Amino acid sequence: MEQVAHVKMLSIDDLPALTAMETGIEDDYVVRIYDRLIESDTHELFGLFQDGQMLAVAGYSLFGQKKFAMLGRLRSDRRFQKQGHATKLLQPIVDHLKQVPDVEWIGANTHLGNIPARRVLQKLGIEQGPVIHYLTLQEPDKLTGHTPGPVWHSVETLEEKYALLHSLQTNALDMFPYECYYPFPYDQALFTDEYVEESSIYVSPDRERFVIIRNDTKKYDYSHVKYFWNDHYEQPGFFETLQDHWKNNPENVGCWIDFSDQGFKNIPDLSAYDVQEPWILYGNWQR
């Protein structure tokens, strides 16, 4: 008799079931770092099983002192697709997270064109948020239309950095790009001393603008730029500041910049960038 599909939190013993799935993903990083994910206290993986076979896998990661939960790592066995397995798996994960005391926000980040994933998130009742354009500045010599100027002043003390982070009154991004691929609502819980110390913050000469650049690794090393206005090309010295940081961190392959939809439309020429398909952030506050 065929068993009813069920969801369970994965353990190290479930790795063979994961590797037996036909996902079509070559060199899947989830398989490579499976033991670290299982042993971590900020990551969890869950599997959808039927008759002892794993049909789909997904999980979540916690950020901001475990206040924010980002769903992800969804993979399905291609032999059993279009059977609603993603929803069957993710709904219990969301229900589980709603019972975790520290979690106040549950969300997901997916390609704008990934209609199946967006439909699943809609079924889960997770609200649609801002569209995000991920661009990597790789050939700054091809930049056109920007306003040249001096490199912005580097903020050195933790106190000054916190003052700038707390001063933000408007945010054209409508989110905080915590890491590459991991945007969250702008929230003080994300700003730990360690995170802020590892972030370089530069202030414009008129002190009306600041930019945060933090080195991040997502397969490659990037200078991850966090700028909260849409006037990148109007601010004198903005791109000189990015290039100066990159020059001082030559191991980085480029400057990863998160643009809002309007900020992206303001770019006069994309030839200086590596451009990804747009993403869209979903999320709900729980309390």
pLDDT tens digits in sequence order for the chain, 287 residues long: 456 889 999 999 999 999 999 999 988 999 999 999 999 999 999 999 999 999 999 999 999 999 999 999 999 998 887 778 999 999 999 999 999 999 999 999 999 999 999 999 999 999 999 999 999 999 999 999 999 999 999 999 999 999 999 999 899 999 999 999 999 999 999 999 999 999 999 999 999 999 999 999 998 999 999 999 999 999 999 999 999 999 999 999 999 999 999 999 999 999 999 999 999 999 999 97
Question: pTM higher than 0.75 for the full model?
Answer: yes
For 13-44, give the secondary structure using H, E and C. HHHHHHHCCCCCCCCCHHHHCHHHHHHCCCEE
The set of residues, in sequence order, having a beta carbon less than 8 Å from that of 172 and lying 6+ positions away, is 228, 229, 230, 260, 262, 263
∠ CA 69-72-78, nearest 5°, is 155
Cα–Cα nearest to 223, from 232, 211, 213: 213
The span from the first CA to the last CA of the chain, in angstroms, equals 43
